[in-house]
Structures are given as C-alpha cells and as structure tokens.
Structure 1
Amino acid sequence: MMRFILSLVLLPTLAAAQTPAADQARAAADALEAASNMLDDADGARDRVRALTETIQAFESGLGAMRTGLRQAAINEAQLTKKLQSREEEVAALLGALQSMGGGASPVALLHPDGPMGTARAGMLLAELTPALNARADALRTDLENVQTLRALQTDAAKRLQEGLTEVQAARIALNQAMANRTDLPKRFTADPVRTGILIASTETLDGFASGLSEIVTDEIEPAPVNLDGQIGELRLPVQGLILRRAGEADAAGVKRPGVIMATRPGAIVISPTAATIRYAGPLLDFGNVVILEPQADTLFVLAGLDVVYGEAGQVIAGGTPVGLMGGSLAEKGDELSPLREGTGTERSETLYIEVRQANRPQDPVAWFRTDEDG
C-alpha cells in the first residue's frame, strides 16, 4: 500500500503537466523546426538570397523565443523546487497520514475508546479530513510533475537550441556565398572611388560624410522614385534587437547622437527597411562598416557598426534585402543556455547605430520605424 501511495504522490506524469514556460519553449521549438525546413528548401529557391534571408530571420526569432522560454523554465523550476523543499515536513506528515489511512487495519483498531458514539465522531472527522488530504496530495503531485516537466523540457530544448545555432550559422555562410554570386542588381549610378576616398579623408564626422555623398557620383540614372508617404512610422527596423539608446541621449562618455543605438545578438542579419539605392557601403571613420541607403530623394538611412556588408554603391535593392551581418562571436556551448546570462541582456552584445536624415537634417528614427518589436 505504501508503494502505491508513493507512486501516486511522487511519480510525475510529464505529459499532464502544463506551464506557460513549457508552452512557450514548445512553441519556440516548433518555430525552429519550421526554420530548419526553410533552410532545407532554400537551396532550391529561385531567389536564394531572399529565401536565406527569411530563413535567418526565422531562426533569429525562434532562437530568441527559445532562450526566453528556457530562461523562464529555469526560473519556474527553481521556484517550484524551493517551494517543495520548504514543505518537506508537510510532505512527510502527509505521507504518514496517507500510509495510516491506507494500512490494512483490523476491525478492532477502528473502535474508539469512548464506544460507538466516539467511533461515529471519529468516522465523521476522518470523512472530512480525507478530501483535504487528497487535495494537498494533488497539489504536491502537480508541483512535482511541473518540476520534472520543466527539467525534461530544458534538456530537450537545450539540444534543439544548440542545433538551431549551428543551422543559423550555416545559413549565414550560405548567404555570404549567395550575395557574392549575385549579379542581377540594377545600378543607379557608378561611384567614384577616388572622390569617395578624398571625402572620407576630408571629413571627421558622419554628418559631413553624408552631406557630401551626393557630390561624388557619376553617370546617375534616375530610377522610378520610391514614395514613403504613408509608410513613415510603420517601416520595419533593419535588425532584430532592442533600443539601447534613443536619439539625443548621452552615452557613458557624454556624447549625444541624433540616431538610435540598437542592441543586437552576434551575427544578426541587417536588412534594408524598404527599396533603396546603396549610397555607400564600407568602413567609415570610427564607426566600423557603414551602409548608407537612399530610399527616396533627399532621404538617407545610415546603418553603422556592421561586421560584414553586402552590395556596393549605386546598386538598387528591394526592401528586405540583406545589407550585412553584425559581428561578435557566438556564445560558447552552454553559455547561451544560462538563465543568468540571458537575464542581464548580455546576449545582445553588438550595437547597430541607425540614423535617418531628410534634406540633410537628422530625424528621430523612432518616428520612422516600428520600435515596439522585441527581437
């Protein structure tokens, strides 16, 4: 009987336990599985660059959701474990009571010393106590089941997360190759590398360089204008991440810039928010690699801090086209699973500077992009 009681109270049924963290991690695992299928299909896609871009974005979303789910699962598991440890005496007392109730007692043992009336009162008390004991046993069993479910889920999800990190890296390598092989992009103008070099050497600020860009092109062919009317404020951010610093906010050194700084994960893909002409792509001053896009006349999007850049000045690209990748090294195996690491935000170790300029005047990027997205 004791063995039956222990199995009833202590043995978990993993499939029965449901928690928000478990549901979130399972949904993230489904997203990663879908991204894996997209990666398999990308090789045969007609537009391989677009297919790989969508695949990498799907992986980034799935990996972010998986990290969040794992972090919450670890927190929930720790809370439940602490709760159960604090109730060890209650568990022991409950098991003792259940064991006494489940023992094969003789009829004499059921008789009360006060006679039939006492026996009747004891029976009524036991009848009231049994549902309460059962309810407490059910609550403990549910907590134990959830702990076991969360532990099993973390083991499975950690394996899937590691596989996803490997696959997204393979997708980035494939994208590098696909972009190197791309020759079908139309050109709006031909850049003059000598004049570009002189402009870089003669300017000390991003503002000065952006202002002089229009003066260093030759053989310009005006394309059909891109009209952003009605899209301002609804444009997609060029990278998945979080706004670290808004326009006009001073950094640690007290420097204020007119653009926003996005915190991103290592290797994050950077895309063009809309159809645009590449005005510049390459290293610039102390900003690292910079891409400057012109979506419409007198409007520039400045993206600074990339590790890898795609395309060259003069090319016309469609919205959603990758323009580069962020730098940084991927986490060592196991680091990406740490709930403490995730909780501090250190997984977003790279920063992308985004500036919007219209008629040579800086604009607040928050007014141009949807900034309510959490990557």
Structure 2
Amino acid sequence: MALAPGKRRGLWLAGTLLAALSSLPLLAQSETPAPTAPPAAAPAAVTPAAAEQPATVAAPTQSDLEAVESSLSLSQQRIDELKAEIAAMEGDRTQQNAALIAAAQRVKLAEIEVADVETRLSDLIVAELEVRGRLDGSQAEIANVLAALERISLNPPPALIVDPDDALGSARSAILIAAIVPQLRAKAESVTADLTELTRIKTAALAEEATLRANHAVLEEEQLRIATLIAARKQGIGVRTTQLAAEEQEAVALAARASTLKELVDSLSAQVSSVSEAAAAADAGLDPDLPVMTPEAIQLALANSARTEPAIPFGVARGYLTMPANGVNVLDYGASDGFGGINHGISLVTRAEAQVVAPADGWVLYKGPYLNYGQIVILNSGQGYTMLLAGLDAVTVDIGQFVQMGMPLGTMGSRTIGRTVTTNAGADQPTLYIELRQNNEPVDPTGWWATPTQSG
C-alpha cells in the first residue's frame, strides 16, 4: 500500500531534521577553543617541593618592554597612545602611583570576568554534549523506522480489489503505519526542539567567546601599561644610592644564610632602620592605644596616592587589606601542613600568570628566590607587622622601595613554583602562599581582608 501524501511529507520532514544534525559544528571543536572551568578546590596539604630556584627578576627594561609589545595583539596605534599617556606623567610620582593602582584593579576585575566566562563556556560545552547525545539516539531510532517504512513502500501489500485473500495483511500494514506515523511526528518535534536548543547554545557560546576576547584585550593593554609605568618610575628614581645598593646585597646575603622563614624575617627586621628611616620611625612610634579612625577617614587616607609611608597604622587596617591575587583558597591558616604541624599562612590557587599586588602599604624588606618557596616578597608594614608572599614567578619591586596597597608586586607563573599544593586541580596550578606576622609570630589573616565593596 503506497503512503499518503501527508505521511510522505511527515517522513520527508523527519529525514530533513536528521540531515540537519550534522550541519552544526561541535562547540568543543569550534575555531576558538573554549577553556575548561577552574576545578573546585579541596582542602589540601602543603609539602616542600625540591624545585630549582628561579633567578631574581629585575624591573622591566627597554628590551623587556619591546618583548611585551611584540607578544601583544594590540594595534601599534593603541601602543603609541599608551606610551604617550604615560610619558605625560613623567616626573609626577603621585600620578604614576595612582595609574599603577588603577591599572592593577582593572587587571583583577578582568581576571575575575575571564574566570567566570570560562566557567560558563564549560557549562555550555557540557549542555551541548548532552543535547548531541540525545540527537544521536534519536537519529538511530528514526533511521530504523524510516528503513522499515522504505521497505514497505518498495514492496507494498496488494490492493484489496486485486487480491482479496490478502485483506488481513493489508489491514495489519495500515494499522502499523497509522501507529508509527504519530510516534515519528512526536520524535521529529523532539528533534526540532533539540536542534533549537543546540542553536541557542552555539549563539550563547559565541557571545561568551566575544566577552572572553574583550577581557583578554583588557589584560594585554593593562599588562603593557603596568610594565611601562614601572619602567618610567624606575627611570624617575635615577641611580640607586650606594647605601641602598649595599642594603640590597646584605638582604640577599641574609637570605642565603637563613635556614627558615622566621630566621630570615628576624635578620631582615634587624636591618629595617638602614633599609628605610621612615619604616624605623613607624616601628619606633608604636602606640599601644591606637587612634580610633572612622571608615571614611581610613578610605580618605588610603586614597592619597602621594603618600610615602603607610596611610594608617597597621593595627587599624583590619578589614581593609587587599587580597593580593584572585584565586581559590585551598589551605587555611591553622590547617595541617602534612608533617604533623600546622600551616602558618593561607594558600591560593591562581590563574596562570595572575597578577600579584601589595596587600598593604609597606617597605620591601626582601624580594627574590628563597629556599623552595620560589620568588618571594617580604613587606614591612610597620608596628612590627610583616607580610610574606611566596610562589611568584616574577617580581617587579626593589628592596627598600615603598609600595602602596594595591600596587603590582609581580606575577605568578604557569605552574606551581616551590611549595606544592596537592588538590584535585593537580600540582600544575600556580599557588600563592601568604603569611601575616607580628613581631615575627604568625597571625591568622582571617578578618583582615577587605570586602569587595571596601576594596573596590
């Protein structure tokens, strides 16, 4: 029995829908690869790693800046505009400081947005694979039905008027076709819905990829801005004094002799007066009865980009410190260190090449490689407080330099350096280790960090 025209159209529609399954490219195989989402971090143990000590990284030179420029996708016109903008600040340390902190803040915001976009892209990939799995199953089912109907159409049962003896077979075929076609139509509607969802996913993915490219462009531009600003500030400082150069050599020698972080901080603290007279004055003027400052007064003091010493006493900075990098906290203060002791700091798993900024105002007591901690920075924030940042790949500040809260200190690498954090993210994730000490005794940093509203 031949199929009715309406049924033929239904089968043709189903076949057309199946043919369309191969017309949409798989999102995970599109031209712009979608990065995977940052894995959820789990509590982890910190163990010393026998990592090779990286060399101390100096501040950007002209050749370094040229290398940065060549690695960026920015237009030459935009690069020239940035250079002219920074050249206009020449000699204006206050304006340079403000520009550095603002650029670092934009980098942190862009890094957060990049991580969010990558997570959303990963979710879209998972959703696409689920839809394609359903479509693959529907394709197999419909293909089997179409094959059966095709066999019936090629060898239809005889008409009743020709062969009355085969009436039962003809009736059975008619009943079979009547039962199959509605189911086939429902399956076709399901396939249509899945194809529509697949198109929506692809459209959303393209929008997310555009957002990702825009944020990477921001990161590139701010990377060049920060490197150029740091180079300009270095030129503005001029030749380092013989005394300061000697102090830096002494700090490096102390680091080579110190066998523990505590010993290193002790040795460096003893040299604080020669590293910075302002730092020594801040420590000598410690007042156990700290003045009461309103939040407005604190924010006003921190907004002064012309300052050359801490804006506020460190003791009243609780709740105002800037988290030095974006990342996932994988190890809390007081957690087991894996050797029967407790951890004296916190550990953040960061993005590759994430920016690291100063968590507080302070003078750089030490920067460079130390034991198995990778590149480290130790800040003297006054009143007996020091802050240690370890695991960096590059450092852009100098010993004796005063840095303001939020100012770039350096960057992370593309893998774990020194102290290894074992998480379900693996040991290849860059990890920043942070310690807060008072009179060289570890202090729990919980509660010292600013909320997003305060730090924004």
Alignment-mate amino acid for residue 288 of structure 1:
G
In the superposition, relative to structure 1, how do residues 292 and 315 fare at CA in structure 2: closer, same or farther (>3 Å)?
same
Query: How many Å separate the matches in 2 of 1:305 and 1:296?
Result: 23
Unaligned runs of 5+ in 1: 13-24, 26-35, 97-125, 330-342
Query: How many Å separate the matches in 1 of 2:134 and 2:314?
Result: 55
Which one of the candidate residues 54, 71, 88 is aligned to 2:105?
54
Which SS does the other structure have where 1:207 is aligned?
A: helix
- Quote how far apart the aligned CAs of 1:351 are: 1.1
Which one of the candidate residues 327, 330, 335 is aligned to 1:241?
327
Which one of the candidate residues 299, 313, 317 is aligned to 2:403?
317
Task: With a CA cutoff of 8 Å and minimum separation of 6, indicate the structure with the bigger relative contact order.
Answer: 2
Query: How many Å separate the matches in 2 of 1:95 and 1:156?
Result: 38
Aligned residue runs from structure 1 range 46-195, under 5 A: 47=96, 48-88=99-139, 140-151=191-202, 153-154=204-205, 157=208, 161=212, 165=216, 168-169=219-220, 171-183=222-234, 190=244, 192-195=247-250
How much identity, in percent, do the aligned residues show?
Answer: 25
Q: Could you give the per-residue CA deviations for residues 15-44 of structure 1, whole angstroms, max 9, x where no partner exists?
A: xxxxxxxxxx9xxxxxxxxxx99x888653
Q: Could you give the per-residue CA deviations for residues 230-251 of structure 1, whole angstroms, max 9, x where no partner exists?
A: 6424533101111222223345
Which one of the candidate residues 266, 270, 275 is aligned to 1:211?
266
Which one of the candidate residues 440, 443, 454 is aligned to 1:363?
443
Which one of the candidate residues 353, 356, 362 is aligned to 1:276?
362
Query: How many Å separate the matches in 2 of 1:177 and 1:224?
Result: 25
Q: Normalization by structure 2: what TM-score? A: 0.55
Query: How many Å separate the matches in 2 of 1:267 and 1:279?
Result: 24
Greater Cα offset, 345-354 or 72-81: 345-354
Q: Normalization by structure 1: what TM-score? A: 0.65
In the superposition, relative to structure 1, how do residues 230 and 145 fare at CA in structure 2: closer, same or farther (>3 Å)?
farther
Alignment-mate amino acid for residue 172 of structure 1:
Q
Match of 1:286 in 2: 372
Query: How many Å separate the matches in 1 of 2:200 and 2:432?
Result: 38
Match of 2:413 in 1: 327
Which SS does the other structure have where 1:287 is aligned?
A: coil
Query: How many Å separate the matches in 1 of 2:330 and 2:133?
Result: 34
Which SS does the other structure have where 2:277 is aligned?
A: coil
Query: How many Å separate the matches in 2 of 1:253 and 1:356?
Result: 21
Unaligned runs of 5+ in 2: 1-8, 22-33, 35-73, 90-95, 148-177, 283-308, 416-422
Match of 1:332 in 2: none
In the superposition, relative to structure 1, how do residues 5 and 137 fare at CA in structure 2: closer, same or farther (>3 Å)?
closer
Q: Which has the larger radius of gyration?
A: 2
In the superposition, relative to structure 1, how do residues 4 and 249 fare at CA in structure 2: closer, same or farther (>3 Å)?
same
